[in-house]
Amino acid sequence: MLRRSYLLFIFCITAAAAFTQAPIAKPKLVVGIVVDQMRWDYLYRFNALYGNNGFKRLLKEGFTAENTMIPYVPTYTAVGHTCVYTGSVPALSGIVGNNWFDKTTGRGVYCTDDSTVSTVGSSSRAGKMSPENLWVTTVTDELRLSNNFKSKVIGIALKDRGAILPAGHSANAAYWYDGGKWITSTHYMNALPAWVNQFNSKDLAAKYMSQDWNTLLPISKYDLSTADDKPYENRIRGEATVTFPHRLSQIPDSIKYESFRTTAFANSFSFDFAKAAIENEALGKNTVTDFLALSISSTDYVGHAFGPNSVEIEDTYLRLDRDIADFLLYLDTKLGKGTYTVFLSADHAVAHIPAFLAEHNIPGGNFEDGDIRREINQQIAANFGVNNAVLNLQNYQLYLNAAEIEKQGKDMSLIKAAIIKALQAKPYITSAFETDKLFLTNLPEPQKTMLANGYNYKRSGDIQFLVKPGYFDGGIKGTTHGLWNPYDAHIPCVFFGWGVKPGKTNRETYMTDIAPTVAALLQIQMPNGSVGKVITELIK
């Protein structure tokens, strides 16, 4: 009898071992989730209303670097997505903003513009995009290089720049949103795969827009937000009010696909497509690690319109929490718990709406850079006889008309000095200086380092100016980002899953550390412009 019990015990142990998944050498899939405009404090601000399996699961079972900062300016979308995946800064990567001014051609440049490619999936110009303007490799490029391009890499985002720049130069695909459909460019392929056409044929965006957007929970529970009806909020295009419920079903068909971007449902739509990509491209079923770069863009559209203290942004994050929980459960079921790695971060954070700050006696304000440019051009024309001396003003930088100034034989140094004096006379401007004389300028840290990391001789402007905290270039409704201040530069950084040791650190880490940390987990070379360091505490 004892022998029979012993044999049964041995059998059970052997059977259990057979069904226990052996540790894997590398994750089946890495998923990078970059939430556009996510402030670090959103991880905790709405925590009481989050479920247990979204943000809370990531924090409980994963590793969070609580003090992760962006180490450059300007803190914009294209630059942030680039930095997360390259570990590099604008001085090296070439991506100095969403837009910049090309001094050689005298024209503005959009970060992912590429006239040599064509749209795939629609007849619009929205697909004439590629990573051509990016000078360095991404961690997704390095993954492909590490195994002779066996890994599959796919980038997905509503915004073209949110899909293209993370996916890198050598990606199998990058898909972005245009008129209710997912499209791409001939940089990646000449025709959409059948599964993408099939997904597009469902017209899910229209189905989401057929329902109105009401709060997920009773609105009385949203006590961390301002009143729903505020005059400093912007409306969703096609609506008459800024309040819940948002009557999406009544928005005209002619604009509903664009209005869709400014709804929480567009985040769910992005996760829908991400799951379809995993299914149909068999991501995670490869002999090597695959990579899905998923950017969540509607958080940015909603945030710009309504601000970080709105009911809309709180509801958007409660819904995103559910989307993330659902996605993690999907990955558990599809690939197996502990067989994939996820990191969650943001491309930038966001400022409070100045009118909201004013309600609470906190300093802040708005200005229009177009007004500055016109005023300075008038002054230079009157005092020096040079018309259109400032060709462009963006990213808090002025691009000067060097050719015209030289043609007229004027002293450039005197004109620059006059412009700087005019800028410094503005009550909201704290400093102005020539960009190539940054290190001769008396500035505190971290401003000086962030400005140096953001300065690129070939693509940056000639004169930089800095503003008081709480001030930004933009209209009186809604909000924006782009500055050095912690409200724009403090972002979440959470790693979860295979290879990740649960815990947290409060030491200062940087956005540039994400890519080399992923590279260390995967035992591959870090990107060729990376200046970050591995967050060693999180690696098992």
Residue range 292-338, pLDDT digits in tens:
999 999 999 999 999 999 999 999 999 999 999 999 999 999 999 99
Taken in order 464, 467, 471, 475, the sign of the CA dihedral is negative
Q: Is the pLDDT of residue 6 over 50?
A: no
Tokens of 195: 């599964």
Q: What is the pTM of this model?
A: 0.95
Of the pLDDT bands very low, low, confident and very high (cuts 50, 70, 90), residue 352 is very high
Q: Is the pLDDT of residue 17 over 70?
A: no
Q: What percentage of the chain carries pLDDT values higher than 70?
A: 96
Tokens of 416: 């620059």
Nearest to 494 by CA among 61, 88, 90, 182: 61
Of the pLDDT bands very low, low, confident and very high (cuts 50, 70, 90), residue 22 is low
Q: Is the pLDDT of residue 14 over 70?
A: no
Tokens of 475: 């209209």
> Over the stretch 54-109, which tens digit does the pLDDT of each residue have?
999 999 999 999 999 999 999 999 999 999 999 999 999 999 999 999 988 889 99
Phi and psi of 473, rounded to 5°? -80, 120
Contact 423, 380 (CB under 8 A): no
Tokens of 252: 């005209």
Q: Is the pLDDT of residue 20 over 90?
A: no
Calpha distance 91→111 (Å, rounded): 15
Domains and CATH numbers, the chain: 29-358+485-538 (3.40.720.10), 365-468 (3.30.1360.150)
Calpha distance 61→501 (Å, rounded): 8
> Over the stretch 483-492, which tens digit does the pLDDT of each residue have?
999 999 999 9
Rg (CA), the chain: 25
Q: What positions carry a catalytic annotation?
A: 77
Calpha distance 262→244 (Å, rounded): 14
Nearest to 33 by CA among 159, 156, 216, 198: 156
pLDDT value at position 12? 46
Calpha distance 314→27 (Å, rounded): 33
pLDDT value at position 46? 97
pLDDT value at position 105? 87
pLDDT value at position 19? 40
> Over the stretch 175-216, which tens digit does the pLDDT of each residue have?
999 999 999 999 999 999 999 999 999 999 999 999 999 999
Nearest to 375 by CA among 433, 334, 421: 421
Nearest to 317 by CA among 38, 31, 33, 32: 38
Q: What percentage of the chain carries pLDDT values higher than 90?
A: 95
> Over the stretch 384-439, which tens digit does the pLDDT of each residue have?
999 999 999 999 999 999 999 999 999 999 999 999 999 999 999 999 999 999 99
pLDDT value at position 103? 82
Q: Is the pLDDT of residue 244 over 60?
A: yes
pLDDT value at position 15? 43
Q: What's the CA angle centered on 299, arms 268 and 72, to 5 degrees?
A: 135
> Over the stretch 497-506, which tens digit does the pLDDT of each residue have?
999 999 999 9
Residue found by looking up tokens 């100034």 in the block: 405
